[in-house]
Amino acid sequence: MSEEAHGTSNYIKIWAILVVLLVLSVLGPMLGIQAVTLITAFGIAVVKAYMVAKKFMHISEAPKFITYLMVTCLVFMLLFVAGSAPDVFKSEGDNWKKTASWQYMPPEADHGAENH
């Protein structure tokens, strides 16, 4: 690891980039455009996580098995989300109904749930 990679100015530069990305991720949803909100919420979060892992955690300088371990954990996390999301996002199914979620919805967002 070189000295210039650990210099204070390098960390300040990365910190400044992370602050700018934070501001963008906060301002993006204020536009009210769904695509912009999704890009700023998830796209910028992925970029920030990558920068932190690479620059502050020095993942790129770690042994290869650490990188493989991180990728494996990420794949398992994505599989868990993909496997559980269909059930989490459903509001009703065979012999069950998610009553707590309907309790907090405004009447105009109900879309006639009591007719099902």
Closest by CA to 41, choosing from 30, 52, 50, 51, is 30
pTM of the model: 0.54
**For 13-63, what is each residue's pLDDT tens digit?**
988 999 999 898 888 888 888 888 888 888 888 898 888 888 888 777 888
**For 68-114, what is each residue's pLDDT tens digit?**
888 899 899 999 988 888 877 777 777 777 776 556 655 565 555 55
Helices then strands, each counted (H, E), the chain:
5, 2
From residue 94, alpha-carbon distances to 36, 40, 54, 98 in Å are: 36, 36, 46, 11
